[in-house]
């Protein structure tokens, strides 16, 4: 099984401050907010993928990944990294542009797919 480690360029403080500043981190279907650790982990995955590019802009939770320069091959890598990191399988019906539009949309997808503990 592949495991993901946060790259050395990943700054958790930046990710957490971005998370705290983002009003978009609430699901539209429920009043529960998305787990901050989920979002921080997704930010790390995206940062890891962007580390291989010349990306220098700050990453926003709601910025379109395509605007960050994520290619189709990198998007596939991101999808596989999400499955590995969160130990889940994304159903084919959920592999849509809308679910992989931004860090916020990926975090919402993960929260929806992960089983709720009582």
Work out the pLDDT band at 118, boundaries 50, 70, 90.
low
Over residues 70-98, the pLDDT tens digits come to 999 999 999 999 999 999 999 999 999 99
pLDDT at 113 over 70: yes
pTM exceeds 0.75: no
* DSSP secondary structure letters along 28-62: SSSSPBPPHHHHHHHHHHHHHHHTTTT--SPPPSS
- Predicted local distance difference test score (pLDDT) of residue 34: 78
Tokens representing 71 are 């290619």
- Predicted local distance difference test score (pLDDT) of residue 33: 64
* Residues 6+ away with beta carbon under 8 Å from 50: 59, 68, 69, 70
Q: Does domain 12-19+31-113 have CATH number 1.10.1200.10?
A: yes
Number of neighbours of residue 63 by Cβ within 10 angstroms:
16
- Predicted local distance difference test score (pLDDT) of residue 27: 33
Angle between helices 36-50 and 103-113 (to 10 degrees): 130
- Predicted local distance difference test score (pLDDT) of residue 102: 97
Over residues 17-68, the pLDDT tens digits come to 444 444 443 333 333 467 899 999 999 999 999 887 777 777 889 999 998 8
């Amino acid at each position: 099984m592949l495991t993901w480690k946060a790259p050395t360029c990943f700054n958790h403080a930046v990710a957490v401050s971005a998370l705290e500043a983002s009003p978009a981190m609430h699901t539209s279907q429920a009043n529960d907010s998305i787990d901050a650790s989920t979002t921080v982990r997704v930010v790390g995955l995206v940062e890891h993928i962007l580390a291989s590019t010349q990306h220098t802009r700050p990453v926003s939770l709601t910025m379109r990944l395509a605007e960050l320069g994520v290619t189709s091959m990198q998007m596939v890598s991101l999808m596989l990294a999400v499955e590995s990191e969160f130990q889940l399988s994304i159903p084919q019906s959920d592999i849509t542009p809308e679910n992989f539009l931004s860090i916020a949309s990926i975090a919402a997808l993960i929260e929806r797919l992960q089983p709720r503990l009582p």
